[in-house]
Structures are given as structure tokens and as C-alpha cells.
Amino acid sequence: MELEMLKFATALISLSVLSATYADEIVISKKLENLKPYEQVHQLLWISDEVVPLRPDIHPSTATYNREAVIPPQCYTKTEGRHNPCYVCHQDKIPERENVMNDGGLQAEYSFSDVGLNNHWKNLFKNRSAQINDISNEEITAWVNQDNYSELPGRLKETGFSGWIPDLKNLQLGADAFDNDETTEPRTGKARWIPMTDKFGTPLTSVDPFLNAGSSRFGRDAADELGATPYGRPEDIEVGMLANGKEVLYFTATSEATVYSVQMNDRKRAKVRIFADEANTPKNLGFPATTGILNSPDNLAQDVFGNIYIIEDKPNSDEVGGDIWFARDVDGDGVAESIDHLLSIQVDEAEATGMISNPKNPAQFVVSVQHPETTDERDPALGKGGFGPDGFGDALWKFDIKNVVPPICKQGARYNRHSYNHEHHIQTCSELPHSH
């Protein structure tokens, strides 16, 4: 046994970055020999900084002493009628709360397995108050602010690690980091459609792209498998017609603050353009400026003339509600010359969605205004979408803009009359002064 452990320790040191002597190897082998398997694992973690942890040559199951390690030690807190660590993980789903499991009821339950009913953690009960007191606030802040994950993928690849390697990109973006795969640059230009199924509807991928299961995105997995181009959190689409007679698909990429247009050239070929975005598309071109920001394009709407409207998901701040923009694409080429600030909901915490235009009266719109601050979804007695005594809950708004007077053009500019869909006209302001 001692010889075998010595051989193991020698191999261990050859893999690590430590510069140990032969005597050190013997000491380590003796230490490991007298430890339980899980204690050997702890010891190996202490003596090596390898990216792939070194392990004893034993079956993994024998190195595990806590079969319910998914239960954190905080769950075994003695509540004494006043301590509640459960709320950290288990909460009701309410707007702007990251936890969307809607499992607040688990705060009042102790629904563990038979094994999990007992606390099996063995490395917790050491008073470290003195060490903690020696750590300054500056040291804590510096440690929190450092990047401790970006180098991991490269280090894993260097070791020849054969398991899954995460990309770990843009984690400072929170949830959007997982919806925005390889979307730091616009993906525009010529494109082609990739089939995901055969003519009988059978998936061509190892995962079923049409399978939905909780938060799993099998359609995205299938697209990745086929090498499709990713976009940042596509939320909504509209299909229209360009001036060249080709069909066009518009879609929002919310985490990119961008709306794309995809011109259908034929059944297989397409052309992708940026229809409107915060970075490059002018706002209220030729009219008085707006302080609005296109930072969360969520839904799209289309009127009978083919005009596209962009509905935002509570942009700018939580206190202004949602903005709605009119995308001005006068020449119908799939690129908006301007996005014009049509409407601000101006209801705290509210989000506009599901806007439609009346085809018989194009100046008339209906829009859904959901989860305003006055909606009291936290009261179970009111139910989802209920509202408290001091305010209204979700609502449908109807508005008509036929009698709205357009803003005056900036000094020196003049109105231009543009034909739209060969039958209707709109008026815009020219940026150039009228020549005399």
C-alpha cells in the first residue's frame, strides 16, 4: 500500500506546478495513506492549483461523503422562529426579481429526501471569526472585482480536458450573457436558410428543435448544432413587403438593442440588414429631438400601410414605462431612415406589448400595458394580474392619433410629402433649409 501510494504521490507531483522534493513526496504519500477518500480529495485540492483538480485513483462514489451536496449548509440553520435562510433561493415570482422559479412555498417546507434530512457536511464547523476580522473591506472589494473566470476555458483546453468547456463570455451582462452568444458584432449581408428537419418534419439534429421543457431551449441547441447564426434574444417578428417586391421578415434582438430585416430572395437565400438600432439610426429626424433611448426593443407591430412600430420592454429606467417608436422607412428598402418617438407609456414599472393597428382605421391602436407598479401580484388572494386598492392592474389602452398635430419642423427646414404604398402619403421634415 505504501509503495502504491508513493507511486501515486510521485505521479501527482509530476502533474502539478509544485516544485517538491523526493522527501516531500513521501510526506504527502503518508498523509494521503491515512486519510479517508473524501479527505484525500480535500488534501489534493490544497496542494495543487491545477485547473482540472487532481483526484485519488479510486471510484468517484467512494470519494463522496455527502450524497446530498446539492443542499447547501444554510438549509440546516436552526431557524428558532426568527432566522430564515430559505428566502435566498426560494421566492415568489414578481417583476424584476431574478428568481423565476416561483417556489416561495418551500420557505415553509422541509421537503428533503430521507438522506438530506440530516446535515452531512463535515468541513463547516470551524470558528473563523479571527481570520475574517483580519480581512479589510478593501481586500474584499478587490477580490470581488477581479476576473476569476475568463481564463478558465483556455486553461481547460490546454490540459486536453474532454468535458464540456463553457465560454464564460460577458457574464457582467447577467441573463443577457446567456442569450447573446457571439453577438458582439452585427451579422448582416448575404445569408442562406438551413433546414432543421427533412420533408417529413423529422429533425436533422440530435435534439428535437420543437421540444419545450421548462427553461430548456432545444431550438437553440439544434441551431447551434447546425452552425446557424446566433442573435441576441430574438423576441418578436413581423412579415411585410419591401419596395422591390420581395418579402421581408423583421425581428427584434432585444439584448442588442437592434431590429433586423431579413429580405427573402428565394426559398434558400436571404439578405440581412439592420433595420433600426440605438447606435446608428437617427431619432425624430428633421423634428425636435427626443431624450428616448432604444435600449430594449421587444415587440413589433405593423399597420395596414406596412409601417413597422417598435415596442420596448420598460426601457431607460423602471420609472418611465415603455416607449413605442415609429420606424420611418420611406423608401421601403428594409433600413429605417429614422425612428420617431410615437408614445411613452409613462406608468411606473409598466411594459407595453401586443400593440395592433385597426386595419379599417389605421390611426387607431390598441396596446396592452402590463404589470404596472400598482399591480399587487404578491397578494395570493388577488391572483395573477390582480390589483390592490390603490391602483389598477394590467390594462388595454386604445388611442387614436388622427387629430394629433405633427411637431413643427426645426427652423430652416420644410415639410416633404412622400408617397407611401402608392396610395397614401406622409409628411416629414427636410434637414436642408428651403432654398429661395
Share of the chain above pLDDT 70, in %: 70
64 residue type, one letter: T
38, pLDDT greater than 80: no
Quote the CA–CA distance of 362 and 373 in Å, as a whole number.
31
124-171 pLDDT, tens digit per residue, is 777 888 888 999 999 988 888 777 777 788 888 888 777 777 767 666
pLDDT of 370 reads: 82
5-20 pLDDT, tens digit per residue, is 333 333 333 333 333 3
88, pLDDT greater than 90: no
Per 3-state DSSP, the chain is made up of helix, strand and coil in percentages (nearest 5) of 20, 25, 55
pLDDT of 201 reads: 86
Helix and strand numbers (H, E) in the chain are 7, 16
pLDDT of 427 reads: 55
- 302 forms beta bridges with 308
Nearest to 254 by CA among 397, 351, 348, 390: 351
Work out the mean pLDDT of the chain and round it to a whole number.
76
Contacts with 225 (C-beta within 8 Å, 6 or more apart), sequence order: 205, 206, 207
What does 202-262 look like in DSSP terms, one character per residue? -BSSSS-TT-EETTEEHHHHHHHHTTPPP-S-EEEEEEEE-TTS-EEEEEEEGGGTEEEEE
Q: Are 193 and 268 in contact (CB under 8 A)?
A: yes
Q: Which residue has the cell 513526496?
A: 25
Nearest to 199 by CA among 267, 279, 149: 267
pLDDT of 61 reads: 61
Residue 369 burial (CB < 10 Å; 0-12/13-18/19+)? buried
pLDDT average, residue stretch 303-308 = 90
422, pLDDT greater than 50: no
> pTM of the prediction?
0.54
pLDDT average, residue stretch 182-208 = 81
Distance (Å) of CA 434 to CA 10, 289, 409:
87, 20, 12
312-350 pLDDT, tens digit per residue, is 986 555 555 678 999 999 889 999 999 999 988 887 777
- 297 forms beta bridges with 312
Quote the CA–CA distance of 198 and 201 in Å, as a whole number.
5
Nearest to 15 by CA among 216, 222, 156, 159: 159
Q: Are 350 and 367 in contact (CB under 8 A)?
A: no
pLDDT of 350 reads: 79
215, pLDDT greater than 90: no
Q: Are 285 and 338 in contact (CB under 8 A)?
A: yes
pLDDT of 339 reads: 95
Quote the CA–CA distance of 387 and 320 in Å, as a whole number.
20
Q: Which three cell numbers stand for residue 340?
A: 420617431
Q: Are 430 and 286 in contact (CB under 8 A)?
A: yes
pLDDT of 250 reads: 97
